[in-house]
Chain A
């Protein structure tokens, strides 16, 4: 599979493997990290960002591609549907059927409220399904929520909202228990102890996993539970606009059948946006590890209705996206590969960094190594080696098949046996660090509008640690479900309207913005144009 040039480089990697595996590379100092990020991290490429010109985040920076859809045009402009006879009436409307949406649905159902999920693909088609490495929780005797707080807050460059990080780490152990009781299988020893590892930037081994199908195992269990509870799921149906009422509250959403185009009205006392991330926006032309539906819909819907965003200018590039072969270009190579002992090695067989720096630092370091001329050349560009055979050198034969079977399968399909040969990796667009600004009850500044999961901002500051997003979707999915249900018990929906669409268009006109691109875009367009 590998080219002759790559095979030549592999010989150097093999020759140095034993020595490389044994060494403990130095960690960078805070100053070294700052300098590295400023010079090489994509978030610092000023030409790739613009200024938001209208709305609550006016004057702030955002990726050009995001501004294009935030300031885009509603498909309902001049074409508003009749809101007077809703097709659906519910207490809690959940937009998105991933990890956060399903967790919210289960808790709102527990609270006795009428719940409904709408999702533009199938329930469970989400980034949660694709999370490989694991979920953090400070449940070992040498660990504590305070230590988890320090890792998450520091890893996010001290920018996160403290009360959200508090919630994240304090609820973490209970959420692992909650998942276990739903039947999620975690990797355990014979006496029940959790098998835990490090992630980049963790100071304790608190990464819980289900092989390298951690997200899939959690997602399929949550989905099964949603179905067992007979919670209505309207699939292949996307929210295309929020509905407000005459009191300025959120009152539901306008929906569109993805296949027939039919427009439907959902009236709700409270609404939860759980639409996930934005990898399919391909910021700065990066490939992505994300799901087909990751197009920042929730940010567009919320912003047009008047909600504020937080840290919309910071994205996570996962350091190890597959860089070869081209069929899996950009696909996620789980951080767990490094947790288990594989190191990053350049074309000359040299280890150039500690493998478990935080993701932003690791990504920038790989980009720097390639710019230094130490890259492995590929048909799509470049990358560095991730020396997977080190894992079995360190942990014994059979470790890879047992602990990271999905990785073995993914490369095996293209004739690469990761037990025998290293793989080529390069950063891939992975996560939206920011999102819609919420309080500790997951509510936005628009009454009765809640946001949870990747679509919300503030939990991770300006960089998220591995294993804190699976945790985020469970903690804040449940949180949003609980508070949205509680609030729904006392809400009376007023006269419904879509006036905010016109108001937004008026703001655009006043600011001189001419942008007729319809948003949210719902799906990326990969169709070849003849």
Chain B
């Protein structure tokens, strides 16, 4: 007999197998999900969930797709949270401190309560990456926030009204476009292709008949 636990989905009690993830528990209970379900494997942030367990006053957060149910868990999903996403032209912005002041000035109202970090479903140091953003240290902000799935749980707890995932998104784009070192070999290859320098070799490859191309493939040297 399968081991069962009781969970309270939006307060209503259901008995479900103890081995299920929260997402599968919803489906076991009879739900067909449209909201609050995306990649089902921890990459998309669609299934942010808040919950409590008996005997613990702490409000916990997780992704429903990658967290197992627990006995007595009371949970609800946050399938949507109104984050602020500022519009900007990536060609026009520059990686200066001013850009954050203009677009997301509320980050400077951070009171250092660390609620965002405690609410991160990915276990990121959210308050730290906001601190980096405040100082215009976008490279560090990008690295610290890299694993963010933009579920928005951090923002639900923020007394300063910061939309942390969007701040981090801007920082990563600034870093990727303006701060990360240019790639020389990439630029050279793009130019060679544009100048038609790669054309002859590939056309010759395409012109090979079936036997010849099989031979070429099966005997090609493979970089160690």
B-contacting residues of A (Cβ < 8 Å)? 27, 29-30, 121-122, 124-125, 129-130, 137-142, 144-147, 149-151, 153-154, 158, 162, 166, 169-170, 173-174, 176-177, 180-186, 188, 190-194, 198, 203-205, 210-211, 213, 215-217, 220-221, 224-225, 227-228, 230, 236, 258-259, 289, 291-292, 326-328, 331-332, 405-406, 409-410, 413-414, 523, 525-528, 530
Q: Are A150 and B87 in contact (CB under 8 A)?
A: no
Question: Which 7 residue pairs are nearest across A and B when measured between Cβ atoms?
Answer: A183-B173, A154-B217, A192-B181, A183-B176, A146-B201, A185-B176, A183-B177
A-contacting residues of B (Cβ < 8 Å)? 19-21, 24, 27-35, 37-44, 46, 66-68, 85, 87-90, 122-123, 142, 146-147, 149-150, 169, 172-177, 180-187, 189-190, 193-194, 198, 201-202, 204-206, 210, 213-214, 216-218, 220-223
CA distance in complex: A107, B186 (Å): 22
Pick the contact of A220: B39, B87, B169, B185 (CB < 8 A).
B169
Contacts of B173 in A (CB 8 A): 182-183, 221, 224
CA distance in complex: A331, B202 (Å): 37
Q: Are A139 and B206 in contact (CB under 8 A)?
A: no
Give A154's nearest chain B residue, CB to CB. Answer: B217
Contacts of A203 in B (CB 8 A): 220-223
Q: Known interface pairs A173-B193, A185-B172, A216-B149. Does A166 touch B38 (Cβ–Cβ under 8 Å)?
A: no
Other 8 A-B pairs with CB < 8 A, given A177-B187, A405-B147: A130-B39, A130-B43, A170-B198, A186-B176, A224-B169, A327-B68, A406-B43, A410-B41
Pick the contact of B38: A125, A169, A182, A205 (CB < 8 A).
A125
Q: Known interface pairs A203-B220, A203-B221, A327-B21. Does A154 touch B176 (Cβ–Cβ under 8 Å)?
A: no
CA distance in complex: A217, B176 (Å): 10
Pick the contact of B39: A192, A228, A292 (CB < 8 A).
A292
Contacts of B38 in A (CB 8 A): 121-122, 125, 129, 291-292
Contacts of A193 in B (CB 8 A): 183-185
Q: Are B217 and A523 in contact (CB under 8 A)?
A: no
Q: Are B177 and A153 in contact (CB under 8 A)?
A: no
- A321: min CB distance to chain B, Å: 11
- B192: min CB distance to chain A, Å: 9
Give A236's nearest chain B residue, CB to CB. Answer: B34
CA distance in complex: A400, B35 (Å): 33
CA distance in complex: A409, B221 (Å): 36
Using a Cβ cutoff of 8 Å, how many contacts connect chains A and B? 220
Q: Are A192 and B183 in contact (CB under 8 A)?
A: yes
- A175: min CB distance to chain B, Å: 10
Give B194's nearest chain A residue, CB to CB. Answer: A174
Q: Are A192 and B66 in contact (CB under 8 A)?
A: no
Most buried by B among A130, A177, A224, A230: A224
CA distance in complex: A183, B142 (Å): 11
Contacts of A410 in B (CB 8 A): 41-42, 66
Give B182's nearest chain A residue, CB to CB. Answer: A192
Contacts of B210 in A (CB 8 A): 158
Q: Are A182 and B177 in contact (CB under 8 A)?
A: yes
Contacts of B142 in A (CB 8 A): 185
Contacts of A188 in B (CB 8 A): 180-181, 183
- A90: min CB distance to chain B, Å: 20
Give B85's nearest chain A residue, CB to CB. Answer: A227
Pick the contact of B42: A204, A289, A409 (CB < 8 A).
A409
Contacts of A177 in B (CB 8 A): 186-187, 190
Give A356's nearest chain B residue, CB to CB. Answer: B222
Contacts of B183 in A (CB 8 A): 139, 180, 186, 188, 192-194
Contacts of B201 in A (CB 8 A): 144-146
CA distance in complex: A158, B215 (Å): 12
Contacts of B202 in A (CB 8 A): 144-146, 149, 166, 169-170
CA distance in complex: A45, B122 (Å): 41
Contacts of A142 in B (CB 8 A): 223
Contacts of A328 in B (CB 8 A): 41, 66
CA distance in complex: A129, B40 (Å): 11
Q: Known interface pairs A192-B181, A193-B185. Does A150 touch B206 (Cβ–Cβ under 8 Å)?
A: no
CA distance in complex: A41, B27 (Å): 32
Q: Are A258 and B31 in contact (CB under 8 A)?
A: no
Contacts of A217 in B (CB 8 A): 146, 172
Most buried by A among B33, B66, B67, B217: B217
- A512: min CB distance to chain B, Å: 33
- B142: min CB distance to chain A, Å: 6
